[in-house]
Amino acid sequence: MSDKKFRSIDGTDVHVKLTSGHTAVIGKDWRPLPDHMHREAYANGCISDNMLQGMAGPKEPPGKDGDKANDPERAAKILAAIKVMIDANKPEKFTTTGLPRADALSEAVGFEVTSAERDAAWTAAKE
């Protein structure tokens, strides 16, 4: 049994409750949770440490892909879609390293999302 560490995506306290009587409060700091609580933590909007492994953020400076990289409305839509994907807790929408899939984001926002845009929004979502 491996206990993943969880935290809330926005730093507010999230109360995770199971019908078995098990409870946990997950806040801005990472805390380990036993396996049987993972699903409910994801369903309540928490993220796990393994979702962030291998994340170094965007490698190219903003603006490299043209004007769309500097569009704050576009970035906000991508960030909102990431939060919805996390809340939905659908593993097929994420890569094996825990990143949201760019094609799934593109489908959610209605325009093509590059990997660089996804990485920048993911970095923002982690903060």
What average pLDDT does the segment 59-80 reach?
Answer: 65
> What does the pLDDT read at residue 23?
94
Mean pLDDT of 15-26: 93
Alpha-carbon distance of 26 to 5, in angstroms, equals 10
Taking Cα atoms as reference points, which of 45, 54, 112, 36 lies closest to residue 82?
45
The chain-wide mean pLDDT, for the chain, equals: 80
> Containing domain of residue 25, as a range?
4-51
One domain for residues 47 and 81: no
Domain presence at residue 59:
no
pLDDT of residue 15: 93
**Which pTM value belongs to this model?**
0.47
**What pLDDT is stored for residue 18 in this prediction?**
92
Of 59-63, 75-79, 93-97, which range is least confident?
59-63
Structurally, how many domains does the chain consist of?
2
pLDDT at 64 over 50: no
Of residues 121 and 69, the one with the higher pLDDT is: 121
User: What was the pLDDT predicted at 70?
Assistant: 63
Classify residue 73: in a domain, yes or no: yes
Is residue 114 assigned to a domain?
Answer: yes
In Å, how far are 41, 56, 75, 81 from 109, measured between CA atoms? 25, 24, 10, 7
Name the DSSP letter for residue 45: T
* 40 located within any domain: yes
Nearest to 32 by CA among 4, 13, 10: 4
Q: Which H or E run includes 78?
A: helix 72-88
